[in-house]
Amino acid sequence: MKGLWIPLFFFLGFTCTILSQTLVEPNQNFLWETFSFQFPEAVVIKTESTNQKKLTVYPAKRDGFFMVIRILPWSEPITDKSLWVESVFQKPISPKQMERVVFGKTFQVYQADQIRNQNALRNQVWVRMDAKPYLWIWLQWKSDRKDLTDFFESNRFLSL
C-alpha cells in the first residue's frame, strides 16, 4: 500500500497543480495568455494547470462573486444552448442567450438567475467562438450586489 501513494501523489501533482495566486487591485489590467481582464474590487486569482488552462477569481475582501476562466481544449465549441445551460446552471430561472461583440470579439452569452443556499444569484457564461483560442468565462454574483450587476453586464471585466 505504501508504494501506491508515491505514484498517486506524483500523478495528482502533475494533473492538477496550482501554479500561483496573485492579488489584483480594482480596475487594474490583469493579463493572461492573450486576454486582459479587470475586476470591480480587489481579487485573488488562482492559476491552475490541469488538462486545460484555467483561472479562478475570488474577491479578496468580501463575498459576492467569483469567476472561472478557461481556454477550451477542443477545436470547435459546443453551440447547442441546452448543453451549456444544463452543464452550468442548476435549476435556471429565465435562461437567456445573446450574442455580444466586445472590442471586435464575438461572444455567445448564456445567462440565468438561480437560488442557491438561500442566495439569489445571477450567472453568465461567456463563450468566445470567433477565433482560437476559444475562451469560456463563468461569472456568478449575488443579485443584490447592483454594483456587480452593472460591472459585469456592461462588459467592463473584459479589457481585451
pTM over 0.85? The answer is no
Domain assignment present for residue 2? The answer is no
Confidence of residue 12 (pLDDT cuts 50, 70, 90): very low
- The alpha carbon dihedral of 18, 22, 23, 28 has a sign of negative
- Scan for cell 501506491, then name that residue: 4
Domain assignment present for residue 119? The answer is yes
- Scan for cell 451549456, then name that residue: 84
Domain assignment present for residue 4? The answer is no
| Digit-coded pLDDT (tens) for 121-146 | 999 999 887 777 888 899 999 988 88
Count of structural domains, the chain: 1
**pLDDT number for residue 93:** 87
For the purposes of burial, counting CB atoms within 10 Å of the CB of 63, is it exposed (0-12), middle (13-18) or buried (19 or more)?
Answer: exposed
Domain assignment present for residue 3? The answer is no
Q: For residue 129, give the CATH number of its domain.
A: 3.40.1000.10
